[in-house]
Amino acid sequence: MHILVINPNSTAAMTEAIGAAARRAALPGTQITALNPEGGPPAIQGPADGEAALPGLFALFEREVLGKSEFDAAIIACFDDTGLAELKARSPVPVLGIGEAGFLAAMMVAERFSVVTTLPVSLPVIEANLAAYGWAKRCARLRASDVPVLDLENATSSVVEAIADQIGEALAEDGCGAVVLGCAGMADMAEEMTARFRAPVIDGVVAAVAFCEALRRNGTDGIRVAPDPLAAP
């Protein structure tokens, strides 16, 4: 299958890293194409950045998915699930968000999970998404590491340890059985942190790729589901 991974921000280096993480997670025979809009914010940190990213995201999706037939699924690689509801309603193929996929994966392995993300400004967006999905009660706590998104590109040991500290505190204090990494830029940390803490630390990019492949094997790719009449347009 062929999966389109869209990074809604305009930082090409981050898109390359996300694409590489998706390829490592993919099964043999799965092709990954990773793209980002040419304009828009360099990072999505909070609702204002998310709103500013929508025109470029929608234009890219229009060109690459609605205007072509080569992709079997699409992934929105921003943990805020930027524009996800609108794209699901329009798309002829499955569209998954990495926030959505991360939450789903965590709920498969734990009764409750915590989220470790970047800056505090992102917390209200994630909280609203959990409420909209109906999963708020399964989330023990949302935590901010105070690490800006772009600092994850070439993460120093201090950046890694800031995130690790929050993961450790979540597992020790939150009553959760899993931790979801709340940014696509953290994708390379999941395996290391799972081994370090001996608990599931879940990355949404990897989870979204696996779910796309599962949909294909289940025969549901390419089947357009009627939009929920109660969902936002």
CATH number of the domain where residue 141 is located: 3.40.50.12500
Are 9 and 84 found together in one domain? yes
Least confident segment among 2-16, 80-94, 163-177, 208-222: 208-222
Global confidence as pTM: 0.90
Per-residue pLDDT band at 225 (split at 50, 70, 90): very low
Is a pLDDT exceeding 70 seen at residue 146? yes
Sequence-ordered list of residues with C-beta below 8 angstroms from that of 215, at least 6 positions apart, any chain: 73, 94, 221
Considering Cα of 168, then 174, then 178, then 181, what sign does the dihedral take?
negative
CA 59 to CA 87: how far, in whole Å?
Answer: 11
pLDDT at position 69 is: 77
Does one domain contain both 110 and 148? yes
- Proportion of the chain in helix, strand, coil states, percent, rounded to 5: 50, 15, 35
Averaged confidence pLDDT in the chain? 92
Domain for residue 82, yes or no?
yes
What ranges in the chain are assigned the alpha helix state H?
A: 12-25, 47-61, 84-90, 98-109, 123-133, 157-173, 190-197, 204-217
